[in-house]
Chain A
Amino acid sequence: MWEGLHLIDKTPGKEGKTDLSEITLICRCEDVTLKEIRDLIAEGYTTAEEIKRITRCGMGPCQGRTCRELLLAEIARALEEKVDKIAPTRYRPPTKPIRLGGIIEGDADDLG
């Protein structure tokens, strides 16, 4: 993804090319860029669980709905493996965010 592509940056003082991976967001909840992921893989963090723990990628309110697959694809590319060989991060309850107060507001009758 974005290999060799650059953005022409006209910001004063920063004229030149910006590596697109620096501005490509993988995890939108926690603002994790593709470059951060690639740097970590290069450091030797090659499991999705480790990268999640360092960057918080996938730990935000959407719990990895967008970034989980992107992260796995990136690790697979780096290791030259098929993506289905890369272990995904654990899915955790409650799956979708729920308000703490909301959990206790209803009572058993509300469930019909």
Chain B
Amino acid sequence: MTWARATSSRIADELPKTADAVVIGGGVIGTSIAYHLAKKGFGRIALVERSYLACGSSGRCGAGVRQQWGTKLNCLLSIDSVKAFERMDEELGYSRSIEFKQGGYLLLAYTRREAEQFRENVRLQQELGIPVSLLTPSEAREIVPILNTDCVHLATFCPTDGHANPFHVTYAYATAGKRLGVKIHTFTEAYDIMTESGKVEGVKTNKGTISTDVVICAAGPYSGVVARMVGLDIPFYPERHQILVTEPVEPVLGPMVMSFSRRFYCQQTPHGSFIMGMGDPKEKPGFSVSSTWEFLVEMAEEITKVLPPVGQLSVVRQWAGLYDMTPDAHPILGSTPCAGLYLACGFSGHGFMLAPVTGKLISEIVCDEEPSIDIHGLDLGRFERGELVIEPSVV
């Protein structure tokens, strides 16, 4: 059995004693950063993941990719990411497919205030070149014939938004990174970051210690735990969000349908299944990822109102994942007071779609280059300075 031996040698990769950079976290953000650093020829890069790749928020997310944001920064970041998703299979030489489907995002405004916000958002988005338009409820129905437009004031639609398969995107970055020499160590948990006079010296893991000057924290909702290893407090908290998937059926829904005021989103994947989720305003911060019956009932009530035929489909599985929420729903990107420690966290539920641009920007910052998008406003210091960039459009 030659294939069995090949496998054994792969998993026996020993932890290196030294590295030029260690990435903590094997989700889509960490693998994207490792790949982009390797592409820049940064040197020996090790990625440590305490379980398997994409086991956390990346593999649990709603998989959407949108450019319809309420702040200039989020728009610019997502425009760049969409471009990357469009050519990702090719760029990463991925042998499978990331299943990027640009069916658009249809956002529904249910209140007058929300409609006002959408008008403002659309002005901003169009200025930045995003091909978005305002739609009347009946125009929205032309795009989604199964949509119930009761109480819908207006809608916005951007045809180049869409979704991709988060497992494949993570594995695509990981395999492309490995090809460039990145060492990926799964089931390897970082439990301490060693420092000397305020500078990073290395990472301690359950498999051994790696000496390094550069540590990048991409630990998603566990980034707070990582930052505390060097005594840093980051003002964010994990929040559970639940989600479910149905059996697959023929394609009937092109875009992702979403409402901020009613806090739901629903899409049909290329595979045919419907994936939908809802935020719960009563959810308390915490690391629990258990599923609840209440979610199933609430989701069923909401989706049968908005997309009535979907009520005929059976749910095959429900699960939950964690958002890493910051006070302004923008990520924390860049250096920290601890020299050599960089943060890429706090994505507040939209880390998957920002993974390509995050990898690029963090690799630029680590290489001491001027980031190709001005993200000075997204540093950790903004919370102390009180310079928050509030995003109004999140589920």
Contact = CB atoms under 8 A, between A and B. Distances in A.
A and B physically associate: yes
Interface of A: 38, 41-42, 44, 46-47, 49-50, 53-54, 56, 59-61, 63, 77-80, 90, 92-94, 97-101, 103-104
19 contacts: A41-B7, A42-B7, A44-B11, A46-B7, A46-B11, A53-B54, A53-B167, A54-B96, A54-B171, A59-B316, A79-B7, A90-B319, A92-B318, A93-B293, A93-B296, A97-B247, A100-B310, A100-B314, A103-B297
Interface string B270-307: 01000000000000000000010100110111011000
A104 B304 CA distance: 9
Nearest to A87: B52
A49 B312 contact: no
Nearest to B245: A59
B366 interface: no
Interface string B313-351: 111111100000000000000000000000000000000
B151 interface: no
B6 A42 contact: yes
B313 A42 contact: no
B8 A79 contact: yes
- Tell me what chain B mostly uses at the interface: helix, strand, loop, or mixed: helix
Given A44-B7, A79-B4, A101-B304, A92 B291 contact: yes
A44 B5 CA distance: 11
B311 interface: yes
Given A78-B7, A79-B11, A93-B291, 16 more contacts: A38-B3, A46-B7, A47-B52, A54-B167, A54-B171, A59-B317, A77-B1, A78-B3, A80-B4, A90-B319, A92-B317, A92-B318, A94-B315, A94-B317, A100-B315, A103-B296
A63 B171 CA distance: 23
A100 B266 CA distance: 13
B167 A42 contact: no
B52 A99 contact: no
Interface string B342-380: 000000000000000000000000000000000000000
B55 interface: yes
Interface string B43-82: 0000000001111000100000000000000000000000
B7 A49 contact: no
A15 B297 CA distance: 55
A61 B6 contact: no
Sort A-B residue pairs by CB-CB distance and give the 7 closest, nearest first. A101-B311, A97-B314, A53-B167, A42-B3, A44-B10, A103-B300, A92-B317
Contacts of A44: 7, 10-11
Contacts of B313: 99-100
